[in-house]
Amino acid sequence: MSLPAIAVSQTPEDKFREYLASRPKPQRFTDQQRELLAHVFARHSHFDAEQLIDNLKTAGKRVSRATVYRTLSKLVDAGLLRRIELGARTVFDHDYGYPAHDHLVCETCHSMTEFQSAELEAILEKVAQEHLFRAEGHTLVIRGICTACNAARSAKPRLVM
């Protein structure tokens, strides 16, 4: 399931510019950051920094590796992207302009499936209330084996001794 974008009051670029300007020491918005931001928000997909660097190169964009890593961190701080830790791999997901959602991650093929669950949201809200906790967000990753990998595993002949 791919989630549809939702209406937001600012473009990702405007929101990022606002974030940079509001820093204790205001920072300028560079052409490389503009290219990176436009590329990231032109499509909704999960990616890691190295995939982004490769995709930018393929698209003919010249953005340094250091700028990619620094800008990804700033985009997370600005509330535009969400960092998802998957063991040794860190992937990024849109956190701005898309509804709240969680992920199913296949341990075999590493596919990520987005999902929304009103029931799960209600449970999380109830747990927070029971602990007098004001939740501001969450990241839920459910690890397991996807349907395709389960089917492939079932189709393999078993060794009989």
Q: Give the domain ranges of the chain.
A: 9-96, 99-161
3-state secondary structure string, 5-38? CCCCCCCHHHHHHHHHHCCCCCCCCCHHHHHHHH
> What amino acid is encoded at 87 in this protein?
G
pLDDT in tens, 123-132: 999 999 999 9
pLDDT in tens, 17-63: 999 999 999 999 999 999 999 999 998 889 999 999 999 999 999 88
Give the tokens for residue 75: 């985009």
> What amino acid is encoded at 146 in this protein?
C
User: Structure pTM?
Assistant: 0.84
Binding-site residue numbers are 102, 106, 109, 121, 138, 146, 149
Phi, then psi, of 30 in degrees rounded to 5: -90, 165
Binding-site residue numbers for Fe cation are 102, 121, 138
Binding-site residue numbers for Zn(2+) are 106, 109, 146, 149
Give the tokens for residue 131: 């602990």
Distance of CA 81 to the CA centre of its chain: 6
Question: Which CATH number among 3.30.70.100, 3.90.1300.10, 1.10.10.10, 3.20.20.70 corresponds to the domain 9-96?
Answer: 1.10.10.10
* Those residues with Cβ within 8 angstroms of residue 18's Cβ, 6 or more apart along the chain or in another chain: 10
